[in-house]
Structure 1
């Protein structure tokens, strides 16, 4: 008898879960489940993530707390309120450090401007702004973008149009961005944006690094650290990708 009651309870819970799962596509703010947090609703809305984020922020007045699974370090706030942005990034920036958890997640980036804090961040920001704001750099950047559009983007789109080939425009513009950044930072053009869409090793490696760091946010710290120590799963892929990037920087 007890097993039958337990089976009925499980069935009712499953039906309730399916009902809420179906409602997530139309829900402005996803349900915060006891164990899984808002993750089921976020996953359900991945195909329309931009519309979903807009609807959620609009419904919550511009600021919303996202709760992740209890076993993952995935709780965060999202805001599009200009007042909040000004308060965090300008007026009280010192009160919002990235913190040690952020630095653990993004340790592959070292102690650059992405991962640095306090005075180190201010010094790197000042140095970066002095370079970016220089008139010669602005002129060089403008000419670089113009050349890449004229000799990269337009020929690719023209070829695709004439050959009636289906392409992923997101991939096209990612290649455009990657080539421009490589030219400006490394001084080399990998020519990833061309009509044959070549497989560029360190472009793929950089994409993999971004993906693996993103995945760390969904895993318990002990799990991804164990994977890193054993060199298995995504952490093994991350290590290989970092080696490819290091070889590319030392042997451009």
Structure 2
């Protein structure tokens, strides 16, 4: 009966979908030959600006950035199919309103949660209300411990010394071209799996092996993110119901990820039951030993942390090394800072790397790992810039665009300037000067501010010090390399970042 009902619904909606797609095709062809006089998209009855939105499906982050740069308020409202509204903003006052002042009115919402539920379940990044509060409280307690910080540094150092540096050494000798983006993703995946699970997938082993868990995780991430781009959400739901195409691939990938994660959860529970005291300090052991033994809860929250730790640091570091190749004077300053540290800097030395910290912040200003983040309005509201928000509307703040707003960073916003984050004292020593989190919401802000922020900087600065002390990373393209940003759940370089590794010799 249910199948018949769904099939009938499919037959009813298919003609409408085909009609709309036909209009889109004709309009797209017309627009190519007759470009619009204004950058702002036209809005039509019933379908709103859906035509323009679909035509910019692949470059939506860059396109919406142009719209926001051209908007006097830094905000733009899209009218979409059947009267739906989507608001996008790069206005810092609006961001503070959403993420702090009226936090309770801007939630993940059922639309976003349904898209990511198959993959993330009820993990901390996919829930609101009491469930989020509970997971946040538990996670916050576990993150704020010296033991975990020490464990993270040990994990990163081991991966760096045993795998990344030897791989770069071999590449320098053999003059091999490496895809730095893939290498850093593998590095980050090994790290976060060891930190979250106490499990080493060994993705960065010399042969760069294919790992079923890592590949399934990548498939689940990419396909889940593409659901957000679907012209009609019904389209992916129909494919999921009939288990075909990308949705079949997603089901298989998610099953592999969750089965693997659940197996580790059960093994860890047994390991803890057999011991009188906690010896492991990975996050999963901490959650389970603190009394949170529900297997689904543990699986959901750890998968969420892997997602957060895998792509964010690797994305930031990939863009960092590219920007460094274009700004040799910045690289010289970083090398001066590294030279003053020990070969394997301890935590206090890493903490004191303020110029490197500023360079990483500046990298993420221009290329934030999460370029756009959306919320749903629970009730009607008015943003500080006067934008009306209807109940159920999607409101997205746009870190990528915010890093490119003249109103926030001045006319030279396109320049890579670590000095924006620094000031010198009377002795000429640099000190770090942060920006408020609503002008720079790369780590979110307010109650949902990223718990792993300090962990991320610890990892990234350790990698920068370990790599640049020994090697120079050079883009492999002979005529220069200009990457193209592609955004899934996080931002990446389209087709990777091919580089050559040069031995720097003894920095000291």
Please give the range of the TM-score, normalised by the shorter of the 2 chains.
Answer: 0.7 to 0.9
Query: What is the aligned partner in structure 2 of residue 83 from structure 1?
Result: 93
The alignment of Structure 1 onto Structure 2 pairs a total of residues equal to: 231
1:79-117 CA distances to partner (integer Å, 9 max, x unpaired)?
444333322222221010111111111112111111111
Are residues 153 and 87 of structure 1, via their aligned partners in 2, closer, same or farther at CA, if it must alter by over 3 Å?
farther
Task: Find the aligned partners of 1:202 and 1:68 in 2 and give their Cα distance.
Answer: 40
Are residues 61 and 197 of structure 1, via their aligned partners in 2, closer, same or farther at CA, if it must alter by over 3 Å?
farther
- TM-score normalized by the length of structure 1: 0.78
Q: CA RMSD in A?
A: 3.0
Query: What is the aligned partner in structure 1 of residue 103 from structure 2?
Result: 93
The alpha carbon displacement at 1:58 in A equals: 3.5
The alpha carbon displacement at 1:68 in A equals: 8.6
Query: What is the aligned partner in structure 2 of residue 40 from structure 1?
Result: 55
The alpha carbon displacement at 1:19 in A equals: 3.8
Matched-pair contact (CA < 8 Å) for 1:37–1:69 = no
Quick one: which of 208, 230, 235 aligns to 2:247?
A: 235
- TM-score normalized by the length of structure 2: 0.41
Residue ranges of structure 1 left out of the alignment (5+ in a row): 1-11
Matched-pair contact (CA < 8 Å) for 1:87–1:93 = yes
Task: Find the aligned partners of 1:13 and 1:223 in 2 and give their Cα distance.
Answer: 21
Are residues 14 and 240 of structure 1, via their aligned partners in 2, closer, same or farther at CA, if it must alter by over 3 Å?
closer
Task: Find the aligned partners of 2:124 and 2:34 in 1 and give their Cα distance.
Answer: 42
Matched-pair contact (CA < 8 Å) for 2:67–2:76 = no
Bigger relative CO (Cα 8 Å, ≥ 6 apart): 2
Are residues 118 and 14 of structure 1, via their aligned partners in 2, closer, same or farther at CA, if it must alter by over 3 Å?
closer
1:170-198 CA distances to partner (integer Å, 9 max, x unpaired)?
11111121111100111111111133211
Query: What is the aligned partner in structure 2 of residue 187 from structure 1?
Result: 198
1:188-239 CA distances to partner (integer Å, 9 max, x unpaired)?
1111113321111111111111111112122222221121111101110011
Query: What is the aligned partner in structure 2 of residue 7 from structure 1?
Result: none
Task: Find the aligned partners of 1:146 and 1:30 in 2 and give their Cα distance.
Answer: 49
Are residues 137 and 66 of structure 1, via their aligned partners in 2, closer, same or farther at CA, if it must alter by over 3 Å?
farther
Structure showing the higher helix proportion among its residues:
1
Query: What is the aligned partner in structure 2 of residue 134 from structure 1?
Result: 145
Task: Find the aligned partners of 2:234 and 2:79 in 1 and give their Cα distance.
Answer: 17
Task: Find the aligned partners of 1:177 and 1:62 in 2 and give their Cα distance.
Answer: 38
Query: What is the aligned partner in structure 1 of residue 218 from structure 2?
Result: 207
Are residues 156 and 138 of structure 1, via their aligned partners in 2, closer, same or farther at CA, if it must alter by over 3 Å?
same
In the alignment, does 2:169 pair up with 1:158?
A: yes
Are residues 80 and 15 of structure 1, via their aligned partners in 2, closer, same or farther at CA, if it must alter by over 3 Å?
closer
Are residues 82 and 141 of structure 1, via their aligned partners in 2, closer, same or farther at CA, if it must alter by over 3 Å?
farther
Matched-pair contact (CA < 8 Å) for 1:206–1:245 = yes
Task: Find the aligned partners of 2:104 and 2:256 in 1 and give their Cα distance.
Answer: 36
Task: Find the aligned partners of 1:88 and 1:14 in 2 and give their Cα distance.
Answer: 34
Matched-pair contact (CA < 8 Å) for 2:75–2:88 = yes
In the alignment, does 2:178 pair up with 1:167?
A: yes
Are residues 245 and 20 of structure 1, via their aligned partners in 2, closer, same or farther at CA, if it must alter by over 3 Å?
farther
Q: Secondary structure at the match of 1:251?
A: helix
Are residues 83 and 145 of structure 1, via their aligned partners in 2, closer, same or farther at CA, if it must alter by over 3 Å?
farther
The alpha carbon displacement at 1:66 in A equals: 6.9
Matched-pair contact (CA < 8 Å) for 2:43–2:79 = no
Query: What is the aligned partner in structure 2 of residue 106 from structure 1?
Result: 116
In the alignment, does 2:230 pair up with 1:216?
A: no
Task: Find the aligned partners of 1:150 and 1:64 in 2 and give their Cα distance.
Answer: 46
Residue ranges of structure 2 left out of the alignment (5+ in a row): 1-25, 45-49, 265-508
Quick one: which of 257, 262, 275 aligns to 1:250?
A: 262
Task: Find the aligned partners of 1:165 and 1:156 in 2 and give their Cα distance.
Answer: 10
Structure showing the higher strand proportion among its residues:
2
